[in-house]
């Protein structure tokens, strides 16, 4: 059965109009943020290869990455532009320790250290991923960088998994006027236009604005699939005084897909042998579509006190809706005849509304003759989901060679039956983090996060009522063994309330877990190259795992799992003109009996990206990225195991600056035309994109 869905100069007039329209859109959603003017913003410190050297993603304190007692990776704007990482899936697929599980064309899961990533932040303010996976193609044109903190983030997010936290740092207004535009043409009729303009909105420069827009359209290597995307982002900073900044922003993204897949391809025949379809095979019908609309609005007020303390308050509202008509194919085909597949058409509509508030303060205090750092605050969120599934006539109709993968199945009336969800999730948290200077070389980072959660409502006949609260501690120690070398160790706990039910219909108890790691961080080559290494152990108890069906209802059991492993990463500019980001991960994931668990997660990962500005021709930059992972498998039951061999995917890029304002870039992806499955997270899967290319003409002012 298919899975449930619920799971400086004056501003030019065009920019002023764009900002006004964007900010005046309907009551919207949004995501949190980081401040704006240079005096109050939590800005990144940049050295060498444009790699961020500080981040507040792990602790709410703006610490250098070397001073942060956890593994932190940063994907910069430059790297996104070089390799045309235009959506979050592409960014995270090129990030140390992260796997991207593309289970369908429009739904994605992410994992790190063996567990699902469900903690997301925008400008260091958390966004609860209450309802499961990520839907739609999240465009990256509006982000300045993306931070990935691996391990549990016990200070800024107590609920979640001991996997990672993804922090999206949005672009902000700048002093002076800056503008850029780009046109991309690519395989399968891809067309993309994007623009980015920042300028002062008054003569005094106390009001600044920035607007980003992108439009993308194209077909696909998948049969019948195509996607259109529109993005608009506008943000305004207004200085209300010498020490006070008010920010307001809005994000609009619309995704319209035709031929989107619900579920994916069967992976084995009735005799247990693996299927091997052409790369472009799709289960969608000609009439299938899956459209999503996201609107996000946020306001932010920051104030710098004379004592050096900073106060920050954020209010965010997100509204995400979807409309779809989809065709699911289930069953196990016979190898000789192809018979054994059945139809499951359905129409699905949903609306997810989130309101979030966060108030915090950061500053310094003196104790014992030394200066220390402190961050504290509270946040609140409310998430509401309503969805409706309208099941089509003809569910269970046997498919033939004329209707199974051809798209020819006729669109039915969607009135066979109706089901859906209506529930609400509320979360309240208080957090406190302090970094004590125990000596010239020793820093202790400690704190706690107290969170309570309350949910109510129903989803597909199952109660979503749950209530839980927990206080999770965090402790980390950093010791500077040399001026540019540190060692560290950290430990934190998490808990994650869950709504899945057991065989009797009772809600499972919350997931409990912890994360510990120890490692080193070294800044080499005049601090232009950051080298890090870590050993880690993550534990998660009572995680819901599907155990069976009662009619159309899935029931779950709680399982325990532990992962442990090693990570190595290097990022920066070891040689003039050579930018490097390389990460190697090795892990083991086992259940409480010591048996391999979550075998769809690769045990070894290599992520490599490098660019080189050719000395003899400084206008030319060339580069390559390589993503490799070891074999994975999935036990399908009854002695049938689906295996995905180890594979590597190579990408190449070249960028030539025609003038100081105009450049032409070429990108080639999957150079070796490797055929592989996108995921074994589910019992179905589809194939990744074959070799493809794009050309981008860009302009900057």
pLDDT at 16: 39
CA 7 to chain centroid:
17
Q: Which helix (H) or strand (E) holds 205?
A: none
- Given a cut of 50, whether residue 227 has pLDDT beyond it is yes
Determine the structural domain holding residue 668 and report its residue range: 13-700
Structural domain contains residue 2: no
pLDDT at 133: 58
pLDDT at 509: 83
What is the C-alpha to C-alpha distance for residues 5 and 2, in angstroms, rounded to an integer?
A: 9
| 77 SS3 class | helix
**Total of domains in the chain:** 1
How many C-beta atoms lie closer than 10 Å to residue 336's C-beta?
A: 9
Q: pLDDT band for position 531 (50/70/90)? A: very high
Structural domain contains residue 58: yes
Q: Give me the mean pLDDT over the 338-354 stretch.
A: 95
- Given a cut of 60, whether residue 122 has pLDDT beyond it is yes
- 428-443: per-residue pLDDT in tens? 999 999 999 999 999 9
pLDDT at 252: 98
- 243-281: per-residue pLDDT in tens? 999 999 999 999 999 999 999 999 999 999 999 999 999
Query: Within 13 Å, how many C-alpha atoms sit on residue 170's CB side?
Result: 30
Structural domain contains residue 4: no
CATH assignment of the domain containing 457: 2.40.170.20
DSSP 446-488: EEEEEEEEEEEEEETTEE--EEEEEEEEEEEEEEEEETTEEEE
What is the C-alpha to C-alpha distance for residues 485 and 77, in angstroms, rounded to an integer?
A: 27
pLDDT at 551: 53
| 363 SS3 class | strand
- Given a cut of 80, whether residue 417 has pLDDT beyond it is yes
- 169-200: per-residue pLDDT in tens? 999 999 889 999 999 999 999 999 999 999 99
Structural domain contains residue 459: yes
What is the C-alpha to C-alpha distance for residues 421 and 461, in angstroms, rounded to an integer?
A: 8
- Given a cut of 50, whether residue 3 has pLDDT beyond it is no
Provide the β-strand partners of residue 316.
298, 356
Structural domain contains residue 241: yes
In sequence order, the 6+-apart residues with CB closer than 8 A to the CB of 549 are 1, 555
pLDDT at 161: 82
Structural domain contains residue 7: no
Closest CA to 78 of 579, 575, 622, 614: 579
pLDDT at 550: 67
What is the C-alpha to C-alpha distance for residues 536 and 113, in angstroms, rounded to an integer?
A: 9
pLDDT at 24: 35
- 463-477: per-residue pLDDT in tens? 777 788 888 899 999
Rg (CA), the chain: 25
pTM of the predicted structure, to 2 decimals: 0.90
pLDDT at 20: 38
In sequence order, the 6+-apart residues with CB closer than 8 A to the CB of 149 are 55, 57, 58, 68, 70, 71, 72, 164, 165, 167
Tell me the average pLDDT of the chain. 88
- 585-640: per-residue pLDDT in tens? 999 999 989 999 999 999 999 999 999 999 999 999 999 999 999 999 999 989 99
Structural domain contains residue 35: yes
Q: Which helix (H) or strand (E) holds 27?
A: none
What is the C-alpha to C-alpha distance for residues 199 and 12, in angstroms, rounded to an integer?
A: 9
Structural domain contains residue 8: no
pLDDT at 497: 78
């Amino acid at each position: 059965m298919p899975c449930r869905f619920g799971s400086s100069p004056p501003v030019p007039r065009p920019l002023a109009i764009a900002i006004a329209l964007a900010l005046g859109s309907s009551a919207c959603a949004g995501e949190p943020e980081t401040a704006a003017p240079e005096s109050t913003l939590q800005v990144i410190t940049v050295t060498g290869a444009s790699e961020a050297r500080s981040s507040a993603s792990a602790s709410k304190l703006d610490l250098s990455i070397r001073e942060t007692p956890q593994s932190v990776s940063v994907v910069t704007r430059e790297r996104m532009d070089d390799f045309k990482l235009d959506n979050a899936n592409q960014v995270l697929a090129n990030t140390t320790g992260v796997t991207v599980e593309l289970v369908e064309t429009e739904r994605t899961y992410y994992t790190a250290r063996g567990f699902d990533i469900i903690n997301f932040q925008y400008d260091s303010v958390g966004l609860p991923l209450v309802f499961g996976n990520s839907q739609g193609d999240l465009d990256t044109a509006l982000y300045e960088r993306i931070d990935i903190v691996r391990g549990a983030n016990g200070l800024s997010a107590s609920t979640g998994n001991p996997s990672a936290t993804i922090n999206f740092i949005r672009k902000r207004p700048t002093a002076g006027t800056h503008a850029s535009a780009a046109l991309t043409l690519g395989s399968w009729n891809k067309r993309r236009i994007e623009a980015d303009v920042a300028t002062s909105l008054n003569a005094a420069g106390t009001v600044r604005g920035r607007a980003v827009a992108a439009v993308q359209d194209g077909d696909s290597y998948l049969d019948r699939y195509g996607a259109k995307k529109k993005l608009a982002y506008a943000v305004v900073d207004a200085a209300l005084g010498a020490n006070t900044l008010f920010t307001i922003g809005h994000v609009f993204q619309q995704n319209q897909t035709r031929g989107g897949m619900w579920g994916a391809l069967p992976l084995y025949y009735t005799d247990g042998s693996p299927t091997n379809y052409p790369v472009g095979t799709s289960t969608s019908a000609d009439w299938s579509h899956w459209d999503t609309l996201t609107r996000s609005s946020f306001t932010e007020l920051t104030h710098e006190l004379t004592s050096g303390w900073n106060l920050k308050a954020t209010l965010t509202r997100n509204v995400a809706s979807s409309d779809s008509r989809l065709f699911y194919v289930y069953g196990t085909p016979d190898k000789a005849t192809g018979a054994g597949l059945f139809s499951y058409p359905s129409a699905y509509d949903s609306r997810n509304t989130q309101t979030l508030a966060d108030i915090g303060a950061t500053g310094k205090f003196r104790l014992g003759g030394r200066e220390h750092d402190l961050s504290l605050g509270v946040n609140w969120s409310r998430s509401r989901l309503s969805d409706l599934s309208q099941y089509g006539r003809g569910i269970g109709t046997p498919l033939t060679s004329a209707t199974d993968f051809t798209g020819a199945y006729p669109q039915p009336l969607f009135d066979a039956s109706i089901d859906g969800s209506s529930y609400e999730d509320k979360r309240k948290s208080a957090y406190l983090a302090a970094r004590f200077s125990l000596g010239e070389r020793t820093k202790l980072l400690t704190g706690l996060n107290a969170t309570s959660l309350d949910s109510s409502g129903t989803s597909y006949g199952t109660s979503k009522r749950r209530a839980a609260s927990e206080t999770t501690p965090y402790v980390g120690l950093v010791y500077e063994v040399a001026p540019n070398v540190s060692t560290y160790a950290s430990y934190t706990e998490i808990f994650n309330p869950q709504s899945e039910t057991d065989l009797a219909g009772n809600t499972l108890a919350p997931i409990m877990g912890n994360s510990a790691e120890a490692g080193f961080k070294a800044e080499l080559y005049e601090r232009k190259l950051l080298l890090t290494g870590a050993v880690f152990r993550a534990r998660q108890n009572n995680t819901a795992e599907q155990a069976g069906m009662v009619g159309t209802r899935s029931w779950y059991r709680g399982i325990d799992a532990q992962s442990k492993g090693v990570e190595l990463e290097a990022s920066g500019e070891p040689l003039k003109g050579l930018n490097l980001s390389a990460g190697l991960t090795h892990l083991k994931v086992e259940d409480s009996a010591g048996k391999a668990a979550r075998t769809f997660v690769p045990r070894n990962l290599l992520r490599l990206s490098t660019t080189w500005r050719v000395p003899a021709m400084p206008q030319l930059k060339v580069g390559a990225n390589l993503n490799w992972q070891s074999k994975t498998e999935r036990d399908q039951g009854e002695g049938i195991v689906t295996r995905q061999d180890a594979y590597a995917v190579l990408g190449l890029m070249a960028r030539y600056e025609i003038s100081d304002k105009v450049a032409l870039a070429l990108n080639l992806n999957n150079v070796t035309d490797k055929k592989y499955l996108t995921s074994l997270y589910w019992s179905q899967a589809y194939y990744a994109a074959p070799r493809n290319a794009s050309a981008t003409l860009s302009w900057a002012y």
